[in-house]
Amino acid sequence: MNRYDLAGRTAIVTGGAGGIGRAIASAFIASGAHVCLWDRNETALAAAVSDLGSAAEQRVLDITDAAAVEAAARDCHARWGRIDILVNNAGILGEVKPVWETDPENFRRVLEVNLFGAYLVTRAVVGLMRGQEARPMRGHVVNVASIQGKEGMPRAGAYSASKAGLIALTKTVAKETAEEAISVTCITPAAAETSMAKEITSERRAEILARIPMRRFVEVEEIARLVLWLSSDDCSFSTGGIFDISGGRATY
Ligand SMILES: NC(=O)c1ccc[n+]([C@@H]2O[C@H](COP(=O)([O-])OP(=O)(O)OC[C@H]3O[C@@H](n4cnc5c(N)ncnc54)[C@H](O)[C@@H]3O)[C@@H](O)[C@H]2O)c1
């Protein structure tokens, strides 16, 4: 397998205590990077950092708290001198109900975490990346959206809308930074076996599986390998791209 050299790079992975975030952090560390895991779940975060070893550090924060996000970005930048990689991965699923049965507060919170939170983190970190030396890249941003953001999904209105918004935010920030040696990309995974997948019923699970032509869930390590490439300088002419990893569910 090809290997990516991230020696000396600093990465922030939001939602780093969860299944996908932890796998991404592990792939970064195996490639030589130092990783700051940002998550609001203090217990899971401590466990993740202890598993990942000395190249991982933690920051307990809620990504919807603008002041906390700005302070964390500043601290990370001051400590490491630069932030090479940002993965906007923190997210929540919310209710699984048709839109007319949903609770407006739940809808608002899903948008707040998955879209507004990613915006706050991007705003803080890309602002700092822009001032860094290009070598040759100033930075890479990878957003973790979902196949549901491309296609919509019955009984996941807030989640699908939030991920569609994240896809549009990716394309926008990519155009804003295209001349600044910062790549901004997005991935759209199908379902993975993380704590998020454990929130759904067996019927919902079967419904999701039936939509995936490969007839299986994606492994978190498969997602991590795609993010690894997008976060490396080998990804030098793809910005604004939305990268499918859905086992054939989307062919676009
Ligand atoms: N698991 C799937 O089937 C699947 C499929 C496609 C996309 N995704 C996306 O992948 C990302 C990671 O999900 P996962 O499957 O690893 O789920 P997960 O629940 O294991 O991890 C999500 C992490 O985000 C953290 N988080 C949630 N809200 C936060 C907030 N406000 N501030 C800080 N941290 C917060 C949680 O504490 C958790 O550790 C999410 O954005 C999710 O939407 C997941």
Domain boundaries, the chain: 10-242
- Give the number of other Cβ atoms within 10 Å of residue 86's Cβ: 31
CA of 21 to the centre of ligand 1 (A): 7
Q: How does residue 3 score in pLDDT terms, banded at 50, 70 and 90? A: confident
CA of 196 to the centre of ligand 1 (A): 7
pLDDT mean over 232-237: 94
pLDDT mean over 11-34: 98
pLDDT mean over 96-115: 98
Min mean pLDDT across 38-47, 128-137, 194-203, 226-235 is at 194-203
DSSP element (H, E) containing 182: strand 182-189
CA distance 71 to 92: 23
Helices and strands, number each (H, E), in the chain:
10, 7
Residues listed for the chain: 252
Residue nearest to atom 3 of ligand 1 (CA): 191
Signed CA dihedral, 195, 209, 186, 159: sign only: negative
Is the pLDDT score of 252 beyond 80? yes
pLDDT mean over 131-141: 96
Is the pLDDT score of 2 beyond 80? no
Q: How does residue 199 score in pLDDT terms, banded at 50, 70 and 90? A: confident
Query: Is residue 25 classed as helix, strand or coil in its secondary structure?
Result: helix
- The reply to whether ligand 1 has any atom less than 6 angstroms from the CB of 89 is yes
pLDDT at 1: 57
Indicate which residue of 4, 119, 159, 252 is catalytic.
159
Please give the CATH superfamily to which domain 10-242 belongs: NAD(P)-binding Rossmann-like Domain (3.40.50.720)
Is residue 159 part of the annotated active site? The answer reads yes
Across the chain, mean pLDDT equals: 97
For the chain, what percent of residues have pLDDT higher than 70? Answer: 99
Ligand 1 atom closest to Cα of 91? 41
User: To test the ligand 1 pocket, which listed residue (111, 153, 194) has its Cβ within 8 A of the most ligand atoms?
Assistant: 194
CA of 89 to the centre of ligand 1 (A): 6
